[in-house]
Structure 1
Amino acid sequence: MARKSPSRLEMRRQAEAAEAEEKASPKKKKAVKKKKATRKKKAAKAEIRRRLFWGVFTGSLKEESRFAYDQRSAAEERIEQLRVKNAKKLYFIQPIKEPLDGEVVVAKVPDEEEEVVKAVDEAEVDADEADEAEEEVEAVSAIDEEEDLD
């Protein structure tokens, strides 16, 4: 058989009796200090320098042309030229952000000077590797051109 749970009145009487005992007892409890929760600091995100362009796109998001940021009027003229050629297609201008090539990724708050020096050294190595890769591509394309001439 299941026990009958105590009624609310009985539970209230027990709670009041416990409160009265606490008030009457001469013992003082020490206040427990809670430690403040410490949060982990988020790592500073690296800022990547970007260049802004104006892109002329079709309705299917195909890029038709790209203009420097200060040449918006030239981009609008290009849209008008494209509309004259084909009035049925939709053309629009949209800003394009692309990272600068060969630039060092700059952290917002570097912890130590050594890390900054290390980042600069890595960037120089990456730039050298990029130059070597470009030279290889040029050499391969020159070989392909020679084969096409034969």
Structure 2
Amino acid sequence: MRVQQIPNYELIIKTNSYTGNFERELISYALGTLDNVQMEMGNFHGDYEMDLFWEEEFSSKRKDYYDDYELKDEYLMETYQDVDDWEQMTFYHMTDECNSLAIQLVKPLNEYWEEIVIRRIKKFFDERPCRYSWTLPKDGKLEDLYLIDSNENRIKDYM
């Protein structure tokens, strides 16, 4: 994969498995959204997990996301990338190691969003909410979770 613009920050999710098998499910479960290309495909991997995000967060009596969805508007950084032999705008990518996923950010998440996103990333590996059980391997686990800047300096650890 080729990222044509360097994100300001990246939230790195390192696993013990190839993340290309479950990145859409993880992203949609942890952030409640997918990139525009995936959304346009409709009924795609990640829809079920995205619905779980909204259902669980609404039932927790948090603010109304539809009124002000600042996570996508203010924090996620879309870049033009080569993905699976075609180019698209997206806010995440697999790293060169192929067992890590990077969520591209304009700025570090505030405390409110950090709590939600980090909790849901960890919960994804603990509760395994994937609709299709074959996407996340039975032995798949979260090995590291951290934030880096554009110079790849580790800013914050979440494990």
Same fold (TM over 0.5): no
Question: For this structure pair, what is the TM-score category when the shorter chain's length is used for normalisation?
Answer: under 0.3
Structure holding more strand per residue: 2
| Higher normalized contact order (CA 8 Å, seq sep 6+, divided by chain length) | 2
TM-score, normalised to structure 1's length? 0.25
TM-score, normalised to structure 2's length? 0.24
| Rg (Cα) greater in structure | 1
